[in-house]
Structure 1
Amino acid sequence: MTNHLIMDKTYLPPLEGWRGVLALSVVFFHFSQLYFDAKYAPWGYLAVDFFFALSGFIIARQYEASIVMRTVDFKKFAIRRLARLYPLYAFSILVAVLINQYTLEWDSPLKIQDFGFGPSLVMWVIVQLTMTGALFMLPQPNGPTWSVSAEWVVNIVFFGLVWRYRRIPNVLLWSIVACGALYLISVSPQTLETPTKNVPMARAIVGFCLGWLIFRYHKKLPVIQLSYLYVFETVLMIITLWMTVYHDDVVKAGGDYIFELILIPTLITVSLYRGGIIGFIFSLPVCTFLGRISYSIYLLHYPLTYLVVHNDWLMSFSSPSLGILYIGILIVVATTAYIVIEKPGRALGRYLTRKPIAVEGAPAPAVAN
């Protein structure tokens, strides 16, 4: 029995499922730090690099050919991406600012008065409104928004390169990955969790280009017998789980870079095979549901975490009851935000970029001689 790539679907359930699991990984990473003062998912920040690679694959798959053929111009591209990213981004910034400013009296990550009322505050507001925080390394009121900013910047660069040069050679993308990885290693030899010296943007660039390359090569992947695929997937998952369990040890040997450059691309690639174990697991309804609301989970978990940690009644719950209660509240909040904010935003983006409807009997456009 042979296996075939998932090539005939616009929607790829395993990649959606990955997004949900990755979002929860970031949640566990932050929540354990704030509540337990420890890292029960110390590898959680690597989920962001996984997000960047998924974004590179999906954006290239959805837009590269259209940009090359000039069926999508910058206006349409920007509107669609902003409609996807900006509404929830802006809402999460507002919520985080209100929480930090008026709810927390101590141990607050950021308060408006930290900037003073002058050029610094004006600059900070402009940076937040334009989603360019990753370029300026300014403090974020909602920690996870740095990656949304980095993705937005990389998306714009992606469009510019494809529009200008049409076909970006694979060797150039590999060179960008290599240079980015060397830069990251030189700045932070052991861990990718270093929010300084342009590390956030470098992580976004490397991850996005890896995802772009996966898209370029995935059509050429061989047909594999399921028995061989099962063996490979089993070994891959054992290695991945081992490296997450013993993350604090393997990180000293450059484990983060093994994750970013080898394991993440391999996991995405294997997920594209129909009939595989990994593809099946991450296509389960619970995973794809979490994937649909993953953006809301990702952006809203941070301010919600601070509300929970600084609420005496909620903190009266013992572990693991508090964690279960927190996840339940987060899923309800994220689902609501998805319905009320994300879906209308996407619908507006589709409406603004819709094709004009031809009117019967309308005069034909003039043709230049």
Structure 2
Amino acid sequence: MIKPLTSLRFIFAFLVFMSHNNLFPNAVDSFSWHIFREGYAGVSFFFMLSGFILAYTYQQRLLEHSVTIHSFYIARIARIYPLHLSTLFISLFFIKFFSSVSAGSIFNLGLNALLLQSFVPGKEFLFNAVSWSLSDEAFFYAMFPIIVFSIPKIGKKRATLLLVTSFLIIMTTAYILRNSPSEHWTLYINPLFRIFDFSLGIAIYNICHKIESAHFHIDYNHTQVEILALCLIIITYCLAFFIPESFRRSVWYWIPMGILITTFYFQKGAISRFLSHPIFVKLGEISFAFYLFHYMIIRAVRIILCHLHIALPLWQEFCITLILSITTAYIAHRYIEQPANKFIRKRFSR
């Protein structure tokens, strides 16, 4: 476990929470509204970090055949499916699914259960809306062994050329689709485009690994570098207010998030030590559950308050949903995610 990166997971999950629980909903297009809504950028961090951590954990082991592809896939299923199916089941009751069963609903349910919804525009936000990112992640997981075994065959130069070509295609698409209704699905949801974020995470890990292997050393203040990395991501986040949204879907954040991940991977500064505190690490560990449950909790609280004719200030509603989301995430992580993960790995790995 890379403790600072684990802790950062919760910070970016909290940004996503902010984007779904904006304290300035009536100030559309204002800077304060932007600060909350821009939280969706956290998804880019998750996709990049996912590629980075999988490469860190599995790349060499797969190449050396010390772990099988079967075991890798079982571990990935154990990672995402227990909570995905739990939140999907809860969402069925949440939207009163059983009172209006139709062929379309069954098809949509099948798409969601199999984590294929992000491939079909218009179907990505059904049931537990945030699970669209799991659909992307499942695709990334499926492709990871292919990517790992392909790089030695095609060579690093060709792999780099392919990465650069993909970058140019996405940049061009972002420019063409600026202010277009289709840019949201194409650039933000579409797994075929978002796999670049994931692949970039793999590339960043390999750069870090090469630096470590070469014992490359420069005498510098690690704490200052960590502060600079954090400042860069904060400045980029704020300046996004002036950038076309099609670029902010992911392109805008690739460099600062890559620097952030690289910096805290080496975990040598004071901020890394601060983020390695058990409380922050635990919040990072429950961040996946927090991410999956928070949107339904926000909606449920709003429905209950409306039904009871209670009008709370937005900041109070924000605090209530945050506390409930963290509490639910802790319970789900401890009593669903961890036990199910261990059971699936033990029962089906070989």
Structure 1 residue 69: deviation in Å?
2.4
Tell whether the 8 Å contact from 1:80 to 1:353 is kept in structure 2 after alignment.
Answer: no
Q: Alpha carbons of 1:161 and 1:277: their partners in 2 closer, same or farther (altered >3 Å)?
A: same
Counterpart AA for 1:124: N
Correspondence for 2:304 among 298, 311, 317: 311
Residue 92, structure 1, aligned to residue 77, structure 2? no
- Which one has the bigger helix percentage? 2
Tell whether the 8 Å contact from 2:74 to 2:348 is kept in structure 1 after alignment.
Answer: yes
**Equivalent residues in 2 for 1:198-277 (5 A)?**
199-200=188-189, 201-221=191-211, 222-227=216-221, 229-251=222-244, 254=247, 259-277=252-270
For residues 346 and 176 of structure 1, what CA distance do their matches in structure 2 show?
A: 35
For residues 122 and 87 of structure 1, what CA distance do their matches in structure 2 show?
A: 20
Residue 150, structure 1, aligned to residue 136, structure 2? yes
For residues 179 and 285 of structure 2, what CA distance do their matches in structure 1 show?
A: 29
Aligned to 2:72: 77
Tell whether the 8 Å contact from 1:151 to 1:204 is kept in structure 2 after alignment.
Answer: no
For residues 314 and 77 of structure 1, what CA distance do their matches in structure 2 show?
A: 50
Counterpart AA for 2:37: P
Identical columns (%) = 21
Structure 1 residue 298: deviation in Å?
0.5
Which one is further off, 236-245 or 201-210? 236-245
Correspondence for 1:128 among 112, 125, 147: 112
Aligned to 1:363: none
Residue by residue over 1:308-352, the C-alpha shift from the partner in whole angstroms, topping out at 9 and shown as x without a partner, is 122225953323222122111111111011011100122113312
The number of equivalent residue pairs is 333
Aligned to 1:159: 145
Which one is further off, 249-258 or 325-334? 249-258
Residue 19, structure 1, aligned to residue 9, structure 2? yes
- What is the TM-score with the length of structure 2 in the denominator? 0.84
SS, match of residue 72 in structure 1: coil
Counterpart AA for 2:164: A
Tell whether the 8 Å contact from 1:191 to 1:256 is kept in structure 2 after alignment.
Answer: no
For residues 27 and 289 of structure 2, what CA distance do their matches in structure 1 show?
A: 24
SS, match of residue 297 in structure 2: helix
Based on CA coordinates, which of the two structures has the bigger radius of gyration? Answer: 1
For residues 191 and 172 of structure 1, what CA distance do their matches in structure 2 show?
A: 34
SS, match of residue 95 in structure 2: helix
Tell whether the 8 Å contact from 1:308 to 1:326 is kept in structure 2 after alignment.
Answer: yes
For residues 278 and 179 of structure 2, what CA distance do their matches in structure 1 show?
A: 33
Structure 1 residue 67: deviation in Å?
1.9
Structure 1 residue 249: deviation in Å?
1.7
- What is the TM-score with the length of structure 1 in the denominator? 0.80
For residues 37 and 300 of structure 1, what CA distance do their matches in structure 2 show?
A: 27
Which one is further off, 38-47 or 164-173? 164-173
Residue by residue over 1:223-264, the C-alpha shift from the partner in whole angstroms, topping out at 9 and shown as x without a partner, is 33342x344333333332223234312446955556432111
Which one is further off, 345-354 or 125-134? 345-354
Aligned to 2:293: 300
Aligned to 1:105: none
Q: Alpha carbons of 1:26 and 1:164: their partners in 2 closer, same or farther (altered >3 Å)?
A: same
For residues 338 and 267 of structure 1, what CA distance do their matches in structure 2 show?
A: 26
For residues 310 and 266 of structure 2, what CA distance do their matches in structure 1 show?
A: 44
Q: Alpha carbons of 1:238 and 1:250: their partners in 2 closer, same or farther (altered >3 Å)?
A: farther
Aligned to 1:365: none
Structure 1 residue 19: deviation in Å?
0.8
Counterpart AA for 1:117: S
For residues 229 and 200 of structure 2, what CA distance do their matches in structure 1 show?
A: 18
Counterpart AA for 2:339: P
Tell whether the 8 Å contact from 1:53 to 1:207 is kept in structure 2 after alignment.
Answer: yes
Q: Alpha carbons of 1:166 and 1:83: their partners in 2 closer, same or farther (altered >3 Å)?
A: farther
Tell whether the 8 Å contact from 1:191 to 1:254 is kept in structure 2 after alignment.
Answer: no
SS, match of residue 311 in structure 1: helix
User: Tell me, which stretches of 5 or more residues in structure 2 are unaligned?
Assistant: none
SS, match of residue 223 in structure 1: coil
Residue 346, structure 1, aligned to residue 341, structure 2? yes
For residues 346 and 208 of structure 1, what CA distance do their matches in structure 2 show?
A: 23
**Cα RMSD over matched residues?**
3.0
User: Tell me, which stretches of 5 or more residues in structure 1 are unaligned?
Assistant: 1-10, 103-110, 356-369
**Equivalent residues in 2 for 1:317-356 (5 A)?**
317-353=312-348
For residues 246 and 115 of structure 2, what CA distance do their matches in structure 1 show?
A: 34
Correspondence for 2:44 among 34, 45, 49: 49
For residues 76 and 53 of structure 1, what CA distance do their matches in structure 2 show?
A: 22
For residues 224 and 246 of structure 1, what CA distance do their matches in structure 2 show?
A: 31
SS, match of residue 344 in structure 1: helix
SS, match of residue 45 in structure 1: helix
Tell whether the 8 Å contact from 1:46 to 1:260 is kept in structure 2 after alignment.
Answer: yes
Structure 1 residue 267: deviation in Å?
0.4
Tell whether the 8 Å contact from 2:186 to 2:193 is kept in structure 1 after alignment.
Answer: no
